[in-house]
Copies of this chain bind each other. A is one copy, B any other.
Amino acid sequence: MADDIAVGSPAESEAVRASESVTIYDVAKLAGVNPSTVSRALNRPGRVNAVTERRIRAAAETLNYHVNPMARALPTGRTSIVGLVVSDITNPVFFDVIRGAEAAATRSGYTLVLTESEESDEREYERAQRMLRMVDGMLLATPRMSDEQITALARQKPVAVVNRLVDDVLSVIPDVQHGIAEAVRHLRGLGHSRIAYVPGPPLSWMARRRGELLAQRCEWAHIELATLDSVAPTVAGGRSAAVAVRDSGATAVIAYNDLIAIGLMQELVETGIRIPADISVVGFDDIFGADFTSPPLTTIKSPLREGGDYAMAALLGRVTDTEVSADGFDLATTLVVRGSTGPAAR
């Protein structure tokens, strides 16, 4: 182990080490102006004589000056930091949300701070509350906490929510309907008339929504829907649903998410069931790796990355009082047809 870790104390070059605590006072002195002039020159170009400004910028450059965000935050009350709260970093659906949110934040010159709650709603609220003090706004991704808690946070600072609908709070949710309609149509087109559904955690807003919309759509399409017992939204959860799926007599199954679908496929295949010859499988989300399976998973893709991006952009719009248009953002879920679906068995 010791060999794996190389440790060294950098030689302390005073010149550079000092660069860390260069203040506008230093810059001001070098440029021969007042500190407040430095502040102006650097922050609102134009409000200062062009040549002095140049002189100041030069001085800042040679001194390797960088503002101290904390010091700036104090008088202004703005930190240029936005928060992102995810309930479980372990969950691959958040990867894309994080990506999107990070992209939008960076695009607007904001720094992203990240926290996770390890699936505990209490911890989630507490950490969000702590984080709130240092951010200009906060994005909640598929939060676990109660509507009341979210509303309480939203009263203090701008808050947005992705993947859940909360009254009076900026909520960005995908158009689940669209992908479900496509999936049902797809399966019906393949001759499936009885399909099973493996639901996710009943307490999750999104899980309920997917279940309800699917039930609705199947009824509308005159397709028999067998809703099985809820399972954990994991590969293991999916495996545990395999017998129920097989016994359901359905020729196709839709899972609450890809993880469940993948576990299901694994277990089914190991039991000698062929996919899609015997049973077609459809997932939800299109997480990273959904196409690694064989057959690759047909799934209802959720616009996770776009949702994260758009939600963050909208949040920052609130923060900076800027209008953010939804143009260029498509939050529709869409069916991605791969190999795990095929003609109905009988």
Contacts and interface: CB of A to CB of B under 8 A. Distances in A.
Given A113-B111, A114-B112, A172 B4 contact: yes
B79 A70 contact: yes
11 contacts: A1-B331, A7-B170, A8-B169, A10-B155, A16-B152, A16-B156, A68-B133, A69-B134, A71-B74, A102-B115, A114-B114
Interface string A188-226: 000000000000000000000000000000000000000
Contacts of A323: none
A63 to B, nearest CB: 13
B3 A175 contact: yes
Interface residues on A, range: 35 or more
Given A1-B330, A95-B95, A171 B81 contact: no
A172 B197 CA distance: 46
A262 interface: yes
A1 to B, nearest CB: 5
A91 to B, nearest CB: 10
Contacts of A156: 16-17, 19-20
Question: Could you say which of A9, A19, A67, A111 has the most chain B C-beta atoms within 10 Å of its C-beta?
Answer: A111
B10 A169 contact: yes
Interface string A174-185: 110000000000
